[in-house]
Structure 1
């Protein structure tokens, strides 16, 4: 696997590399011509591979999102913005085939597992388009998504000091199921709180544990089809990491609708 995640200032860069059994000219057509792009890219795209030209995207879920071509070297490099994100495709001859170096730069670091697992499937589809066979690439699985969460270290909490001088930890994690599915698991993981300060199903549960820890679970809009979890708590980092991992595991393993 060639996927890697890096930090560039306040932005995150996902890099991927793939080799295709086709010449660079054929791959260039597949990444730069709208008729080919629409077969494997996660949106319908209208663009001209000319630096400074406009790009439009339509995911079918609402209004088109605009972008701009910021780099274009015919046959070799194409880079454009998609909203606030930056996508760059660079092609290299590789024997009788072609190597693609792809980079996606974005602000939402905790969305990286969703982006990585989604692009993996898109590049599988691109390979099928190049081979001239029907596209069979499916949506990413929860297992694939969570494997990237662990691989990129996105399951690690961030420690800090609370207003009372005691230790606190913050976990942010993209989940693989909506808030309605996560809420009953969170209530079970919360046990029997000593004092519930806020409860807004299925968005917020804040309470004090019997042991005196202050805890806040918050579910908001995320990337992909799942909710974004933010958990802040005082107490043992490892204990809360275990609870977040258990939540993710139960959502990953839950029966899927037929």
Structure 2
């Protein structure tokens, strides 16, 4: 399977190619007939009006219903639909899911594309679609599709493959800011517990004016004191340079794409500490990679 993260009309686009030992006509039925589609797709297709502009209704099995509109239909070559957000969830645009079938020998090549907005969700989508396309292959082979959760190892491998572990740096009115955003593989509460001392029952909870728990720090970034703390969502503290407060470090944990929490980490610094900006980029990249590895090792 060949996976790449690219762009389409300025939006992130995940592209996956997979060779299948089945002719396009058979694969087409697995893509467009609800009883087959529901066996390998993430959601159950409760309704599918197979025409251009036709509606598809998906049910996640937990009471959430999502609608989609067929945007391309060229049997047995192209099938695409725009997937709407669930009712009550605000989203500026819709995801686009597209399937292309190219004959090859006695089988075909499936080209799958998912266009979305949240670039930092790409690893979650890639690892999830990998599981789904494995299930599609099983369905085509006549074997029971395996329903399983994407592994943290697969997820984090895509993080590195797509370059989603790299931070960014920008100039600000007061100096500079380094920023990292990463989808994690455990819920915020689990991440917070690990950062504040793991399974230790005597690990102190961070408090304003108190010391910074070691888990929230990085090598070469001397911590000052906590200035804000809200379990399990926010921790802010000052950092030191030459014995003086130079800026702040902020950890934000929020709901992510289903794997776990979304981490946004920022560090600010003054213009005169510009050389420390590069230090911050390297130090936090290492620290967040270490955190991801620790989360993968949890039972």
Say whether the fold is shared (TM-score over 0.5): yes
SS in 2 for 1:86: strand
Q: Which residue of 1 aligns with 2:181?
A: 172
Work out which of the residue numbers 88, 113, 128 in structure 2 matches 1:118. 128
Provide the TM-score with structure 1 as the length reference: 0.94
Structure-2 residue corresponding to 1:81: 82
Cα deviation, residue 9, structure 1: 4.4
Closer/same/farther in 2, CA of residues 150 and 21 from structure 1, 3 Å limit: same
Q: Would the aligned equivalents of 1:196 and 1:207 in 2 still touch at CA under 8 Å?
A: yes
Q: Distance in 1 between matches of 2:62 and 2:292?
A: 26
- Is 2:248 aligned against 1:222? no
2:196 is aligned with 1:152? no
Show CA shifts across 1:133-152 (max 9, x none). 11225221100000000000
- Distance in 2, Cα, partners of 1:27 & 1:190: 49
Once residues 204 and 186 of structure 1 are traced to their aligned partners in structure 2, the CA distance between those partners, rounded to angstroms, is: 12
TM-score by length of 2: 0.81
2:6 is paired with a residue of what secondary structure? strand
Which piece of structure 1 moves more, 206-215 or 125-134?
A: 206-215
**Paired position in structure 2 for 1:91:** 101
8 Å CA contact retained: 1:111, 1:223: yes
Q: What is the RMSD of the two structures over their aligned residues, measured on CA atoms? A: 1.5
Task: Tell me how far 1:217 sits from its aligned partner.
Answer: 0.3
Deviation (angstroms), 1:86 = 0.3
- 2:192 aligns with 183
Give the count of matched residue pairs: 254
- Per mean C-alpha deviation after superposition, the further-off stretch among 117-126 and 1-10 is 1-10
Alignment of 1:231-242 (within 5 A): 231-234=265-268, 235=277, 236-242=280-286
Check the 8 A contact 1:88/1:103 in 2, yes or no: yes
Q: Which runs of 5+ in 2 are unaligned?
A: 85-93, 197-213, 269-276
CA contact (8 A) 1:10 1:107 kept: no
Alignment match, 2:210: none
Per-residue deviation, 1:17: 0.6
Aligned with 2:39: secondary structure?
coil
**What's the counterpart of residue 251 of structure 1?**
295
How far apart are 1:94 and its partner, in Å? 0.7
SS state of the match for residue 52, structure 1? coil
